[in-house]
Chains A and B, each alone.
Chain A
Amino acid sequence: DADVTQTPRNRITKTGKRIMLECSQTKGHDRMYWYRQDPGLGLRLIYYSFDVKDINKGEISDGYSVSRQAQAKFSLSLESAIPNQTALYFCATSDFRTGDQETQYFGPGTRLLVL
């Protein structure tokens, strides 16, 4: 089984709809991240969480919110989706407790299309 899973893998939605992307991990890592990938722009950080009670905005957090329901679960919500949020979304994890917090491991990605 994959260490970092994302659901759904693909999603089509309409402008104005609220949607949630979910991330779960079995790696036991304490840190989790959400990134967005657009063609030609690489990956950009949306939100990150260092533990259940610690949530931080990344460089492009506007229009997004997150919830860290448990150490292993980190959800990303689009409150009112708009077409320019069409992108590939990645969840990632890293582990501070082992001293390897710099290395991030990625999930398989969710491709989102907003019509």
Chain B
Amino acid sequence: AQTVTQSQPEMSVQEAETVTLSCTYDTSENNYYLFWYKQPPSRQMILVIRQEAYKQQNATENRFSVNFQKAAKSFSLKISDSQLGDTAMYFCAFITQGGSEKLVFGKGTKLTVNP
């Protein structure tokens, strides 16, 4: 069974600084997708970034980027120039290619951006 582990229950960062959230996963599959979702206090689940396992290039979306290490089964999220609006729970998630399996979530990391 696939599992996703986020080892940092809580983190904080100063506004404008950079922070990295960790995620590791376990799977025997070779083709899969990884995601980071953001859940602000409004509780909406917002897709931040996605990475296809077959792509070696790390995904980037504006201030958000990932460090995908397939051999190590590691998928960290880097937030640059942190903003107060980045304060949220961040969930790492995994799904096998084809989407026939469920989206497996980690337990989340609570990020607080301090002014």
Contact = CB atoms under 8 A, between A and B. Distances in A.
A42 B103 CA distance: 11
B75 to A, nearest CB: 14
How many residues of B sit at the interface, in one of the four size bands? Answer: 20 to 34
Interface in B72-115: 91, 95, 97-99, 102-103, 105-108
Contacts of A33: 103
B68 interface: no
A105 B95 contact: no
Contacts of A104: 95, 103
B33 to A, nearest CB: 4
A96 to B, nearest CB: 7
Interface of A: 31, 33, 40-45, 48, 58-59, 88, 90, 92, 94, 96, 101-106, 108-109, 111
